[in-house]
Amino acid sequence: MKRSHHCGELSLTHVNQTVTLAGWVASRRDHGGVIFIDIRDRYGLTQIVFDSEENAPLHAIADRLRNEYVIAITGKVSERPEESHNPHLPTGSIEIRAHELDVLNESIPLPFTAEDDVQTSESLRLEYRYLDLRRPKMQQLLQLRSQVSHLTRNFLHEHQFLEIETPILTKSTPEGARDYLVPSRVSPGEFFALPQSPQLFKQILMIGGMDRYFQIARCFRDEDLRLDRQPEFTQIDLEMSFVDREDIIQLIETLIRLIFKETKQIEFPNPLPRLTYEEAMGRYGTDKPDLRFDLPLQDLSEFAKSCDFQVFRRAIESGGMVKSLIIPNGAAFTRNRIDNLIDTAKEFGAKGLAWVKISEDGKLDSSIAKFLNTEALRAALPSANPGDLLLFVADQARVVHQVLGRLRLLLGEELELIDRTRWEALWVVDFPMFEYDDTSQRHVALHHPFTAPHTEDIPLLDSEPLHAKTLAYDLVLNGFELGGGSIRIHSPRMQEKVFDLLKISKEEAKEKFGFLLNALESGAPPHGGIALGLDRLIMLLGQTESIRDTIPFPKTQKAQCLMTHAPSSVSPEQLQELSIRTTTKKPAAS
RNA sequence: GGGGCCGUCGUUCAGCCAGGUUAGGACGCCAGAUUGUCAAUCUGGAAGUCGCGGGUUCAAAUCCCGUCGGCCCCGCCA
């Protein structure tokens, strides 16, 4: 019994045809003389009718069906009685009057049903992922993921890209995230690392003359998990030779437009807006601003310079700044709510959070009101209105931006300022090359150490390296970093200089990146590229709340797979073969 | 490494603050009834080591300590 149709396609146009469907029993409604079975597959649901008057032996078999049994049925497509059409179901105008039933497999009673509105814990869903995957929502998300991969592959092939695989067993890289290590049996005591990204290999491919490379690449990072972070994740990774920043931005905008249009009929402005890193940080306190709502940070440093409030003045005098958020209608906040905001600001790293309510008559209501000149403040914040609440942070720029940026997001959520129907994509460009890391007392690369500086900023590398900007670019959507890339360094002298500034010694550079430095000496073309997070892209496109919903077999926050129970201990023999001894107390598996 | 929330029949929750007879509801499951349901309905039934360990107490799901697991966040994620 081979199926002739799937469970989502039959309609009134098929009436009187004899069809065969196969799928899972989604529900059974037993009315005695007649039994209704909903049969489900990836495509939909169809109602099957077993009538004891039409076929008593078949009805008796149907009586034994239970949820999630796998069945095949043959029968005639019939229009339902007029009052029994189900408008909620695409196939709701028809039903199959069965005359053959094949029970292909039975099922034990299961912990939850394969319905979208099933209320169950995520750990149970992960343990029984095969059931969870039967739910229409999960099926749609994986279909969406497949569709996006397909569109991407087609698009890039049309643009002369070669799809090339890079190694999964590779060399541990020193900077950046923690590596997943894989012991080598034939080289006792030595380890491969799983790639955090194909970065170095794709640069080598450019030097190898491949010109345009892409890969839908699995990447691994042994860091703690979050809502939008998994230890293994997938990137749409690409690299191009003989291009500049504009070429790559153009290409990716075209791809993103195609994906959003084809899958969700979402249109973006052309070109996408851009903010420099400095603008993004200054206005939104983050390098991945959510532009679905405004609520910008307001610079009050000029006002603060001459005001009587010492906290503000001192912040300016010690090279810091004062910025403010104007919370519309926030004057109605209770003292308790404001106290909670102050605590939150402290958790975010602020020393304090000053606040001012502007009452309906324009007067200031605040514990620091006596230090503030009302006219000067209103002049400094022309967009503040009576009824608003002003929140101030005075500190070094990094703290001010971090605290107010996060308060902006928090209040945007709480006050429901975020328009969930909007899609706001933008590029953030001109990232600084380095930032100074206080703990290690050295410069660290903001992007990665292979990122090329702006040509006009090259002299700054010697004089003021912290002011040098790079040819890096991040694509941001609704406050999530969708991807980032850069034009790379192709000059071996420049690469050495950057390693030097990062305090990576010649020996270390040679030992870790010798192959890259050699390759750069061997005729490296100018090149650049980008990597887009596929899982996050699907999460946003599919409007699901967690990256785990876009990955068929994700890990929990402890980086474990609840279905297979990986990771797990291994036999002493396996360890011995790998020259490994563990120091944990957990006994090895026998 | 740190902070928060959670853990009770197969599932999802109530009960815990204020300890006390037989731990309760809904869904699911099992049996019976039922010829137009699509959250089917009706009747009956089974089902729990209250995550685990220890402590306090005459008595612990309930209070205390520890521990394990799940989720969210900070740190971390070039």
Task: Show me where the domains of chain A are located.
Answer: 12-105, 139-275+426-550, 294-418
CA neighbor of A496 nearest in space, from A434, A450, A462: A450
Å: A1 CA to B33 C1': 34
Check: CB of residue A14 under 8 Å from CB of residue A94. Answer: yes
Cα dihedral sign, A53-A57-A63-A68: negative
Whole-angstrom distance, CA of residue A509 vs CA of residue A499: 7
Closest CA to A55 of A101, A2, A5: A101
pLDDT at residue A589, rounded to an integer? 39
Residue A286, Cβ density class (10 Å: 0-12 exposed, 13-18 middle, ≥19 buried): buried
Which nucleotide has the shortest C1'-to-CA distance from A227? B72
Q: How far is the CA of A143 from the C1' of B38 (A)?
A: 26
Say which nucleotide is closest to residue A67, CA to C1' distance.
Answer: B28
Q: b/e for A38-58, b at 16 or more Cβ within 10 A?
A: bbbbebbbbbbbbebeebeeb
Nearest DNA or RNA nucleotide to A229 (CA to C1'): B77
Measure CA to C1' and name the residue nearest B1. A224
Superfamily of domain A139-275+426-550: Bira Bifunctional Protein; Domain 2 (3.30.930.10)
Round to a whole number and report the distance in Å from the CA of A117 to the C1' of B14.
Answer: 21
The whole-angstrom separation of Cα A228 and Cα A269 is 26
Q: Are strands A434-437 and A364-365 parallel, antiparallel or unpaired?
A: unpaired
Q: CA A128 → C1' B18, Å?
A: 40
Q: Which nucleotide is nearest to A178 (CA to C1')?
A: B77
A359 CA vs B2 C1’ separation (Å) = 40
Q: Give pLDDT < 50 ranges for chain A.
A: 586-590
Q: Closest protein residue to B75 using CA and C1' atoms?
A: A224
Query: Does this chain's domain A139-275+426-550 share its CATH topology with A294-418?
Result: no
Q: Are A397 and A435 in contact (CB under 8 A)?
A: no
- Amino acid, res. A470: T
Q: Where are the beta strands (DSSP E) in A460-501?
A: 472-477, 480-487
Q: How far apart are CA A69 and CA A62, in angstroms?
A: 11
- Nucleotide showing the shortest C1' distance to residue A451 CA: B78
Pairing verdict, β A34-41 and A18-30: antiparallel
CATH of domain A12-105: 2.40.50.140
* Residue A590: predicted pLDDT: 31
Q: Measure A561 CA to B40 C1' (Å).
A: 38
User: In sequence order, what are the residues at sequence separation of 6 or more whose Cβ sits closer than 8 angstroms to the Cβ of residue A320?
Assistant: A394, A395, A396, A397, A399, A400
Distance in Å from B23's C1' to A420's CA comes to 44
Q: Which fold has domain A294-418?
A: Gyrase A; domain 2 (3.30.1360)
List the A141 CA – B72 C1' distance (angstroms).
23
Indicate the SS3 state at residue A261: helix
pLDDT at position A587, please?
A: 42
ipTM for the whole complex: 0.90
Q: Which helix (H) or strand (E) holds A62?
A: helix A56-62
The nt closest to A97 (CA vs C1′) is B36
Q: Where are the beta strands (DSSP E) in A262-320?
A: 274-276, 297-299
How many angstroms separate the CA atoms of A222 and A541, rounded? 26
State the nearest residue by CA to the C1' of B41.
A31
Q: How many CA atoms lie within 13 A of A149 on its CB side?
A: 15
How many angstroms is C1' of B75 away from CA of A209? Answer: 42
**Per-residue pLDDT, A470:** 96
Phi, psi at residue A133, to the nearest 5°? -70, -20
CA of A559: nucleotide with nearest C1': B70
> What residues contact residue A576 under an 8 Å CB cut-off, 6+ apart?
none
**First-residue to last-residue Cα distance in chain A:** 45
> Of A145, A252, A148, A164, nearest to A204 (Cα)?
A164
pTM above 0.90, yes or no: yes
Chain B footprint bases within 7 A of protein beta carbons: 1, 10-13, 28-30, 33-41, 69-78
**Strand (E) positions, A211-352?**
212-220, 232-241, 274-276, 297-299, 321-327
The burial class, CB within 10 Å (0-12 / 13-18 / 19+), for A460 is middle
Which residues of A338-454 form beta strands (DSSP E)? 354-358, 364-365, 389-395, 425-429, 434-437, 442-445
Q: Which nucleotide is nearest to A347 (CA to C1')?
A: B74
- The CA–C1' separation of A281 and B3, in angstroms, is 27
